Amino acid sequence: DAGVIQSPRHEVTEMGQEVTLRCKPISGHDYLFWYRQTMMRGLELLIYFNNNVPIDDSGMPEDRFSAKMPNASFSTLKIQPSEPRDSAVYFCASSHTTVGMETQYFGPGTRLLVL
Amino acid sequence: GQQLNQSPQSMFIQEGEDVSMNCTSSSIFNTWLWYKQDPGEGPVLLIALYKAGELTSNGRLTAQFGITRKDSFLNISASIPSDVGIYFCAGRSRGAGSYQLTFGKGTKLSVIP
């Protein structure tokens, strides 16, 4: 299995621009999670989906952030407009109920820098 | 919200030494997990613990789920250079429909050859 795939791996953009991060979960997994990692706050859950449906988005920092999962093999996290404080590493993770959905498999992350 | 206190924040050890790190919480968790993150990569699951008192090994790694459900530790025996990285604990508490994991801030391990 290829594991969780994220793109792009690195993104540099200017304040105010729209940023779209992409994730392909492990095939067959029914849970998908978006996390943000910073030095100050560590790993924070932003939102998670079950069977393509958003279940808990309480971690989404504000309305500038949105996430979608149009099908079982693809999800996006969008920031519009982006701000310098959004600079972080964004991880996507997936899991499957049958093996314990706490056992989450992470992608390599997207390193976002907003200038 | 829930918080996990992970210690130590960082440690430098000689190759071959044993390592111990732990996580404590003010809240009860019913699942504990330990992850390792290599530079430039995402966290990789090392060990999952589901029952209070459970002791689980994965090669040179051993982790335990504390009896009080408020702590967990991870031991690495006979460290080698590839053990370098950041180790995170994570916990999940029982909640209606909630599958959120709370992560510790990590223990950065450096191994001196």
Judge residue B93's burial from the number of C-beta atoms within 10 Å of its C-beta, 0-12 exposed, 13-18 middle, 19 or more buried: middle
Residues of A in contact with B98 (CB under 8 A): 56
Question: Given A56, A101, A107, which is nearest B42 (Cβ)?
Answer: A107
8 A C-beta contact, residue B19 and residue B46: no
Rounded to a whole number of angstroms, the distance from the CA of B105 to the nearest CA of chain A is: 5
Residues of B in contact with A106 (CB under 8 A): 35, 42-44
* Sequence-ordered list of residues with C-beta below 8 angstroms from that of B70, at least 6 positions apart, any chain: B24, B25, B26, B27, B28, B29
CB within 8 Å: A55 and B104: no
8 A C-beta contact, residue A101 and residue A49: no
Residues of A in contact with B105 (CB under 8 A): 42
Amino acid at A33: F
CB within 8 Å: A45 and B101: yes
CA A8 – CA B39 distance, rounded (Å) = 17
CA A106 – CA B6 distance, rounded (Å) = 21
| Cα–Cα distances in angstroms (integers) from residue B77 to residues B14, B18, B22, B23, B35, in the given order | 12, 4, 15, 18, 16
Determine what percent of chain A is predicted with pLDDT higher than 90: 79
Please determine, for residue B30, whether its predicted confidence score (pLDDT) is greater than 90.
no
Alpha carbon of residue B103 to chain centroid: 9
Residues of A in contact with B41 (CB under 8 A): 108-109
Question: Checking DSSP bridges between strand B10-14 and strand B107-112, what pairing results, if any?
Answer: parallel
8 A C-beta contact, residue B55 and residue B66: no
Task: Please give the pLDDT value at position B101.
Answer: 81
8 A C-beta contact, residue A4 and residue A95: no
Please determine, for residue B51, whether its predicted confidence score (pLDDT) is greater than 70.
yes
Task: Please give the pLDDT value at position A80.
Answer: 97
Mutate to test the interface with A, among B9, B99, B102, B108 (most CBs of A within 10 A): B99
pLDDT category at B92 given cuts 50, 70, 90 is confident
- Cis? peptide before A70, omega within 30° of 0: no
Task: Please give the pLDDT value at position A4.
Answer: 96
Mean pLDDT, residues B47-63 taken together: 94
Helix boundaries (H) for chain B: none
Handedness of CA B23, B29, B30, B31 (dihedral sign): negative
Amino acid at B103: F
Mean pLDDT, residues A69-98 taken together: 95
Please determine, for residue A35, whether its predicted confidence score (pLDDT) is greater than 80.
yes
Question: Given A56, A102, A107, which is nearest B48 (Cβ)?
Answer: A102
Task: Please give the pLDDT value at position B3.
Answer: 76
- B57's tokens: 């090994």
